[in-house]
Amino acid sequence: MTTVRQALEEGRSIEDARLILAHAVGRDPAWLYAWPERELEPAQLTRYRELLRRRAAGEPLAYLTGEKEFWSLPLRVTPATLVPRPETELLVESALRLFPAPEQSGRRQEPTPPPEPEDRSGKLKALDLGTGSGAIALALAAERPAWKIAATDVSAEALAVAKENAQRLRLENLRFFQGDWYEALPPGERFQLILCNPPYVAAEDPNLRGDGVAHEPPSALAAGRDGLEELRLVIAGAPARLEAGGWLLVEHGMDQGKAVRRLFRQAGFRSVETRRDLAGRDRATLGCYAPSP
């Protein structure tokens, strides 16, 4: 018989062994600390060893558990979706700050008149291009229930996961479209806010072969020789899909800030600014589309 302590000892050299064991026995990691001498059932041990083997072969923990938290939302992820990264929360946070929630008149106890019909911020139309598991779109949908949010992906499998996440989280202010960047959308439709975390890693970047990353879809990460190929398309195409005064926010690599700001200005954006992630690295650039009269 194998105890919790012995099983952890067995996985000592493998990253995330404790989290993998917790998943295999269907408990949280704190339970393992509390019950080191508890014996594992044979099926649990078999499952644990199989998951350890896959983790040792470089699969990301999130693919083994099928779950990853983003913006405090538990999201289902599969090998068809990128594993959402904490640094992508910067994009969500920047969007929420650009468009703060309107006064929550509908939530007051006493009867109140209906909200102002002019309240454009309440009904804002936002677009998440390349939604993957749905991370960005779902975080916005949860924070701003009145917004109408469109989410796209070129991958039908990824989009199916995003839809499933929306259903499971009971978020209803979302529409999903499959296709290549803006081509996925109904012709002529415009937005006040576009967000995109596109693939931005240079094709030859050794990080693409790193732990975890090597098992993620290359189409979610690699973007040509300089990593800017998809960013060029997304930025250049945005003016045709933004209302005047609308905003574009993109994530990018830590050494791409200058090039991305230039692409924004070339496309007619003003107030162009790059923001840093929690590790202090350039990570997101935003700008306002203000066509000259």
Contact positions toward ligand SAM, by CB under 6 A?
82, 84, 88, 130-133, 135-136, 152-155, 158, 180-181, 197-199, 219-220, 230
The entry of ligand GLN, ligand SAM, none near residue 158 (CB within 5 to 8 angstroms by kind) is ligand SAM
The entry of ligand SAM, ligand GLN, none near residue 163 (CB within 5 to 8 angstroms by kind) is none
Instruction: State in angstroms the smallest separation of the CB of 84 from ligand SAM.
Output: 4
Asked if residue 132 binds ligand GLN (CB under 6 A), the reply is no
Task: Indicate which single residue of 147, 176, 200, 264 sits in contact with ligand GLN (rule: CB under 6 A).
Answer: 200
Q: What is the 3-state secondary structure (H, E, C) of the chain?
A: CCEHHHHHHHCCCCCCHHHHHHHHHCCCHHHHHHCCCCECCHHHHHHHHHHHHHHHCCCCHHHHHCEEEECCEEEECCCCCCCCCHHHHHHHHHHHHHCCCCCCHHHCCCCCCCCCCCCCHHHCEEEEECCCCCHHHHHHHHHCCCCEEEEEECCHHHHHHHHHHHHHCCCCCEEEEECCHHHHCCCCCCEEEEEECCCCECCCCHHHHCCCHHHCCHHHHECCCCCCHHHHHHHHHHHHHEEEEEEEEEECCCCCHHHHHHHHHHCCEEEEEEEECCCCCEEEEEEEECCCC
Asked if residue 221 binds ligand GLN (CB under 6 A), the reply is yes
The entry of ligand GLN, ligand SAM, none near residue 181 (CB within 5 to 8 angstroms by kind) is ligand SAM
Task: Indicate which single residue of 18, 27, 38, 85 sits in contact with ligand GLN (rule: CB under 6 A).
Answer: 85
By rule CB under 6 A, what string of x and - marks binding of each residue 231-270 to ligand GLN? --------------------x-------------------
The entry of ligand GLN, ligand SAM, none near residue 219 (CB within 5 to 8 angstroms by kind) is ligand SAM
Asked if residue 201 binds ligand GLN (CB under 6 A), the reply is yes
Asked if residue 281 binds ligand GLN (CB under 6 A), the reply is no
For residues 6 and 219, which CB has a smaller minimum distance to ligand SAM in the complex?
219
Instruction: State in angstroms the smallest separation of the CB of 131 from ligand SAM.
Output: 5
Give dist(CA 216, CA 35) in Å, integer. 34
Q: Name the residues that contact ligand GLN, by CB under 6 A.
A: 85, 197, 199-201, 207, 213, 221, 251
